[in-house]
Amino acid sequence: MLKPRARPGGAALMALALACAGCAETTKDVASAPAPAAGAETPVVPAAPAWWREAGDPVLAILIQQGLDTSPEVICRIASLRQYDYQTERDAKRIGTKLGRLFGDKSVNTDPQIRTEKVDRVSARRERLARQIALAYVEVRRLQKDVALRGNLRAQYKDNAEVAQFRREAGLVPAIDGSLARSQDETAQGELGFAQGRLDQAIAELARLVGDQPDALAAKLGTPGTLPDPAVDPLASAAPENPQRAVLADAVLREARLTQALEESRRSVRDARTAYREGAGAFSTLYVTEAAALAVELALADARAARVTATLDLWSGQDGSWAREGLAPVVAPDPSATGPTITVTAGCD
């Protein structure tokens, strides 16, 4: 008699199903989104204009773009994202083929949250870097103004010293006038050196952020340089409850007050210089009025920098969709085989 034989392949089929299920579970953390259908076109949604392109300063726009393009951290995270997309597509095809043979279903269950988190990390780093570059740029421009103001007064102080020396030799004023004039000039020279040192440090920090050499960056910035002056009023678009709105309003008010005070202090300096040259005033009066005028000018430069910083802070927090530009899933060859050599580490992602 012929004994009935066991049906071959039953156990093997079940083992293969369980193996594929385990493979799909292991690759759940790798897959992020199903591969787009062949021939399907992903709709392109234009990103909002980047706030730093609307700031009205072409040098600032160039430097931020340069920093975003050369940042090793941004490059590494984008490379990690592209590698992830490639791995997702490859795993989806491989697992989909196996499951399709078993169950006739080529779709793969994926976790889109994983890719969303990766995109969020890239965009957050872009936003943070753009803001860091903008604030460092404003600080450089502020210090350039500081150095320019102090440097321009050196000629004025030397002229004061010459006039005081001439009047002392003529017996018209006491010797203390010449001492005060020399002290004023030497103090200004020392403060100018300190200001130049702070400017050099600020340029080095900005160069680090944008991936440039300090000397090359200094040439691009030029001298004396001006602070960016955004033409759009950010208060018009800021929500009343936004804390940055109050900071900006205070900076605008302080700048307006100092602008008015500067006109008065400059007028006092002109009157004091005329009076001293004509013998109707003391050098101490000229000394004090010039020191007060310089203090007001420096305070005004600080207030303008604070106003611009508050403006950029307010803008940078309004719409970050520009930072997601170019991060849509791309079906392409393995980036590690065609792109530049980039070491992707866990720390970069």
Helices (H), the chain: 10-26, 58-70, 72-103, 112-169, 176-210, 214-221, 243-277, 283-316, 335-338
**Tokens coding 138:** 């404003």
Q: Which amino acid is at 118?
A: K
Cα dihedral sign for 219, 222, 226, 231? negative
Overall pTM > 0.75? no
As a whole number of angstroms, the distance between CA 157 and CA 287 comes to 9
pLDDT at 106: 41
Long-range CB pairs of 24-27 (<8 Å, 24+ gap) are: 24/95, 24/99, 24/108, 24/109, 27/91, 27/95
As a whole number of angstroms, the distance between CA 177 and CA 265 comes to 22
Distance (Å) of CA 186 to CA 81, 138, 190 = 58, 29, 6
Cα 136 from chain centroid (whole Å)? 7
Region 166-182: what's the mean pLDDT?
A: 75
pLDDT at 203: 96
Q: Which amino acid is at 227?
A: L
DSSP single-letter state for residue 51: G
As a whole number of angstroms, the distance between CA 1 and CA 216 comes to 96
pLDDT, one tens digit per residue, over 113-138 is: 888 888 899 999 999 999 999 999 99
What length does the chain have? 349
Task: Give the alpha-carbon dihedral of 274, 279, 283, 289, to 10 degrees.
Answer: -30
pLDDT, one tens digit per residue, over 221-267 is: 987 778 887 766 666 666 777 777 888 888 889 999 999 999 999 99
pLDDT at 326: 86
Nearest Cα residue to 138 out of 243, 251, 245, 263: 251
pLDDT at 136: 96
Nearest Cα residue to 330 out of 138, 84, 154, 128: 84
**Tokens coding 26:** 């292991």
Region 42-71: what's the mean pLDDT?
A: 78
Q: pLDDT averaged over the chain?
A: 76
